[in-house]
Amino acid sequence: MSIFSKPIINMKTTIALLAILTANILCVPAKADETPSQRSNAQNRAEIIKKFDADGDGKLSAEEAAKARRAIAATKSPEAERPVQNREYQQAFSIKNPKDFKLDGGKEIFSGPQAGEPLPKLEVTVTGGEQDGQVINALGTSKGVQILVFADQSGSTARGVIGLLRLANTINAGSKTKLHAIVVYLGDDTNALAANIKRYRNYIVGSPTIGLSRDGRDGPGSYGLDRNISMTVLVAENGVVKYNFPFPQGMLTPDPHLLGAITEVLAVKTESMEKWLSASYGNRGRTNAKTRANPSGIDVRSLIAPVLDKSADAQAIEAAAKRIDLILEKNKAAAAQIGAMAKRIIDSGKLADYGTERSQYHLFKWAKLYGVVKSEVSPPQDK
């Protein structure tokens, strides 16, 4: 079996006996028409009563039941002792074969150098640290294993980058082969972009190379990035691309195939990567709770923010709107959320307060497509 073919851990913890250990339940006799499962539970109850009924009255007193619970708890498996948040983490992440990576719908997108191609020189303007403001070749000597992240400045993408860098730092603390992380932010407003990057740096650990592209949102021409892709991730070794992963709407949590690529190129065991993931995403339980509350799995407010940016030019707004359109075609839950959000704005009569005229046009469009707009409201003109 391939190391990429199964989830990290599929845990089953059975501690139902603790729940049935009360005096009232334990003294209820078994019925003739019970199912096999019910009869098994009845037998367990009888065995527990027999073992812990010190006074021989055929039932457990509160003191005897408490003693039984303590004894059963002491025999639980180590897996059952793990914190709930770790169990949720184990269910949330998996490591898969990077060669099986496909976008939703099987659409093939080319953004950046492909597998087998050499990495061109990568000049970036460093933000923060001792080299702040300096222009450097982010690839350095191009030796070793590198992960290159080309990302826009959407909120979900920024959080995904922070988590990925935290994982890289954990890997470097435990792996003989180091993972050099390089993050290049893409945007046309370099001043605003630099300010955002410096704000995010407060949450970054380790020593990654972080800078902004000198070529605006398109990124370095020699890299051939698709400006409609929120995040492009390359895994390379000794200056040659091994894997290319385009993520149209960014990557809030590590993609299983990307994890598989890092595991493969570092030549480490899957178990080691599992351990590093657990250490890096120990708060996964809280994240899962937020995901359950958000059925689309997308931070729609962060997604729509670039469209509502009053300082953005028409080209930037159109690019951001196009990315959203692509997502909404595939994600009905996200479409419903954005449609409802746009509808509330329009129905409030405050559409003119949001973004530019182009922003308002797209809001009206999404409300019309995915929400219900009052008939007396006139749409902004498509200019």
Q: Distance between CA 357 and CA 195 in Å, rounded?
A: 26
Q: What are phi and psi of 246, to 5 degrees?
A: -90, 130
Taken as a whole, the chain contains a residue count of: 383
The whole-number average pLDDT for the span 169-176 is 89
What confidence tens digit (pLDDT) does each residue in 174-217 have? 889 999 999 999 988 888 888 877 777 777 878 899 999 989 99
Cross-strand pairs, 145: 179, 237
Sign of CA dihedral 292, 262, 247, 211: positive
pLDDT band of residue 224 (cuts 50, 70, 90) is very high
For residues 31 and 298, which has the higher predicted lDDT (pLDDT)? 298
Cα separation of the two ends of the chain: 57
Mean pLDDT of the chain: 78
- Asked if residue 90 has pLDDT above 50, the reply is no
- Among the residue ranges 38-47, 133-142, 332-341, the one predicted with the least confidence is 38-47
pLDDT of residue 250: 82
Average pLDDT over residues 350-373: 86
pLDDT for residue 282 is more than 90: no
Q: What 3-state class would DSSP assign to 251?
A: coil
Q: How far apart are CA 220 and CA 214, in angstroms?
A: 7
Domains plus CATH for the chain?
16-81 (no CATH), 98-288 (3.40.30.10), 300-370 (no CATH)
Concatenate the DSSP letters of all residues of 101-131 into one string.
---GGG-----SPPTTPBPPP-EEEE-SSTT
Geometric angle at alpha carbon 194, from 189 and 198, rounded to 5°: 155
Helix axes 62-74, 36-52, angle to 10 degrees: 110
pTM summary value = 0.53
Quick one: average pLDDT of 301-320? 84
What gap in Å lies between CA 60 and CA 24, rounded to an integer?
Answer: 9
Which one-letter DSSP state was computed for residue 45?
H
User: Residue 89: is its pLDDT beyond 60?
Assistant: no
